[in-house]
A and B are shown apart, each in its own frame.
Chain A
């Protein structure tokens, strides 16, 4: 009953954001919810008012998946992914690129489904590309990656709490 489903957001390095969450279901079901379009479109819909009308998945190494979200004002946000590694019920590795990120590079996303008895701990690791950090920082006016801030803030909140 008192299953702690706390969402953890951390940044183990300058290049990563890791999101972790425990689910009260066996590994294969959680894996299915990430790989079967009819299931994905029921939950991966984003903020309130958004939906996922386009959800196509070709689940094989080198195969692509295509998601297009649709917002309350009719706005859309599309993303294309390509599977790099598929180890059913344990690991899914893919590259993802958003439509409106032209020239901004890809993310490498590693989903790890960790069995904890009848439950599953899901780790989502997003790895960003490495090049020209300093140049980009100057260009965008961001003196430090926002990503690192998650860890910093988390640590502060932990210190305080």
Chain B
């Protein structure tokens, strides 16, 4: 009777955290696009390259054994996720990295971490207390 499905539980698991930290669905959907874009090694490599400064599609395609259209496709996905933008005016239409979407994704992960960090830092204190108690009893 119960539907055990992964995506739902994973989604709901994450949404619970999102709920806990006050994120709405819109952000969640946007983050999803960001994370999908980040899930691919080629796209991560492109982003890493763009941290050094803007570059043309041709320059970005160079290190990869793939065609320029294939690289363009990756760039489009990054663009949709708001991770990069392309200038309209210049002839080469260089690609540049956009910090905000990445920051949002990082912040989100930070919130997730913070819940764990908060728990674990309390656990640290508790463990210190227990260790002290034990060493006193031992002496």
Q: Give the B-binding residues of A (Cβ under 8 A).
A: 5, 7, 9, 14-15, 19, 21, 23-26, 29-30, 32-33, 39, 42-48, 77, 98, 100-107, 128-133, 135-137, 139-150, 152-153, 155-157, 159-160
Contact between B5 and A136, CB atoms less than 8 A apart: yes
Known contacts being A105-B3, A159-B44, is A152 close to B38, with CB within 8 Å? yes
**B: interface residue count bin:** 35 or more
Known: A48-B118, A139-B8, A149-B35. A155 touches B126 (CB 8 A): no
B20-46 contacts to A, CB under 8 A, are 20-21, 29, 31-32, 34-36, 38-41, 44-45
Check B113 for interface membership: any CB of A closer than 8 A. yes
Q: Is B100 an interface residue (CB 8 A)?
A: no
Query: CA A43 – CA B115 in complex, angstroms?
Result: 11
Residues in B whose Cβ lies below 8 Å from that of A100: 12, 16
Complex Cα–Cα for A149 and B4 (A): 21
CA distance A130 to B4 in the complex (A): 8
Contact B44 A140 (CB under 8 A): no
Are B127 and A29 in touch, CB under 8 angstroms?
yes
Task: List the A residue with the shortest CB-CB distance to B102.
Answer: A156
Interfacial residues of chain B within 110-137, with CB under 8 A of chain A in the complex? 112-120, 122-128, 130-131, 134
Give the docked Cα–Cα distance between A146 and B7 (Å): 9
Interface of A is mostly: mixed
CB-contact partner of A160 in B39, B51, B124, under 8 A: B51
Given A42-B126, A132-B7, A148-B35, 9 additional A-B pairs, CB 8 A: A9-B109, A29-B131, A45-B119, A47-B21, A104-B5, A133-B7, A140-B8, A146-B32, A153-B35
The binding surface of chain B is classed by DSSP as helix
Q: Is the CB of A105 within 8 A of B44?
A: no
CA distance A48 to B114 in the complex (A): 10
Whether A140 lies near B7 (C-beta < 8 A) is yes
Determine the residue in chain B with the shortest Cβ distance to A106.
Answer: B4
Please name all residues of chain B whose beta carbon is closer than 8 Å to the beta carbon of A33 when the two chains form the complex.
123, 126-127, 130
Identify A43's interface contact among B20, B29, B36, B123, CB under 8 A.
B123
Render B49-76 as a binary contact track against A, CB cut-off 8 A, 1 for contact: 0010000000000000000000000000
- Complex CA gap A29/B47 in Å reads 44
Query: Are the C-beta atoms of B32 and A128 separated by less than 8 Å?
Result: no
Cβ of A26: which chain B residues have Cβ within 8 Å of it? 131
CA distance A132 to B10 in the complex (A): 12
Out of A15, A39, A104, A105, name the residue touching B126 (CB < 8 Å). A39
